[in-house]
Copies of this chain bind each other. A is one copy, B any other.
Amino acid sequence: MKRKGSSPTMKDVAREAGVALGTVSKVFNGIPVGEEYKRRVEEAARQLGYQVNNYARALKTNRTRTAALILPNTVNPFFALLAGDVCKALARRGYRMLLALSDADPDAEQQCVRMVEQNKVDGIIGLTYNPALEINESVPFVSIDRYFGPAVPCVASDNFGGGQMAARKLMELGCERLLFFRIGSDVPGEADKRGDGFQAACQQAGIGCSTLLLRDEDGYEPFRAFLREHLRDGKLDFDGIFCNTDRLAYHVCRMLQGMGVNVPGDAQVIGFDGVRRFGSEALYCSTIAQPVTQIAETAVDILLQEDRGHLPSLICLPVSYIGDGTTKG
């Protein structure tokens, strides 16, 4: 590693270019000066390796080229993917990313917002659990997975379509007795539409669908009890199970294995998310995969859009089915 000495200042650039300090300032702030002056200042800045002080520029232009991302954590691999893709989408557009983690706690989220507002960010992208979040209206905000109303753009997967896709795929693969398992936050969100889509597709096909809907606090054990209750002579009452996350599908497959129910022979299981072992190795189960990169790119595009008068209130991006081991196809 090389440690460089102190950076050149605007005065150094002015001296090198042979112009007045005010001329350098004008060039750096985009105020018109003669072409020849502009060329000399830019040449001198390049030669000296002058870095424009973004803090000083931010005060003048009211732009910091910094956006914040608020997430519950980076441990959940879906959030980890999202953090990486938002960071890269911002970097491609010349923006830096402040990361703030809230642990899905409403008060912590409000503190995150306060904290990033203090830094005069150009915008905030948030995957939040606080329906009453207060955000300064001068700060552009894009929500992921949670719809706040027409004035706040929300970007999400096509959760409803994904739920339908899971039901139709299970039926196509021969399932006749369907079950939907859900665990999650009790704050309403776009992800709730996974179950709505699944049940709508079942109803449309004229077949029944059992459900068990739990909150995170309930843990995974009630699913095991439910499965045990529906196990008669080693045979499960259901032959197709849709879980609202890959993580739940992973638990359910292990529970079934422990009960002697063969997956996918006796029961086929589809999860949702499309997360992979070690972030990029094998999937955990057959799944409805979220388009994480497109979610990130779309959220950043909307965040940085100049015309704030005509923004969509909800954008749902297409998901895709990937069969991998826990279904027959």
Contact = CB atoms under 8 A, between A and B. Distances in A.
A118 interface: yes
Contacts of A75: 80-81, 84, 279-280
Contact of A135 (B1, B6, B132): B1
A47 interface: no
A101 B141 CA distance: 23
B284 A277 contact: yes
Given A53-B118, A96-B119, A131 B1 contact: yes
A317 interface: no
A99 B97 contact: yes
A57 B308 CA distance: 29
Interface string A245-282: 01100100000000000000000000000010111110
A4 interface: yes
A95 to B, nearest CB: 10
A147 to B, nearest CB: 10
A246 B119 CA distance: 39
A54 B135 contact: no
A124 to B, nearest CB: 11
A7 interface: yes
A209 to B, nearest CB: 26
A213 interface: no
Total copies of the chain: 2
Given A55-B119, A80-B74, A118-B54, A247 B278 contact: yes
A96 B80 contact: no
Interface in A65-100: 66, 73-77, 80-81, 83-84, 87-88, 91, 96-100
Contact of A1 (B76, B81, B118, B149): B149
25 contacts: A1-B134, A1-B149, A2-B135, A3-B137, A3-B151, A4-B137, A51-B117, A54-B118, A55-B58, A55-B59, A55-B64, A55-B119, A73-B279, A75-B84, A76-B279, A83-B83, A83-B99, A87-B99, A91-B101, A91-B115, A99-B99, A246-B278, A250-B281, A275-B278, A277-B284
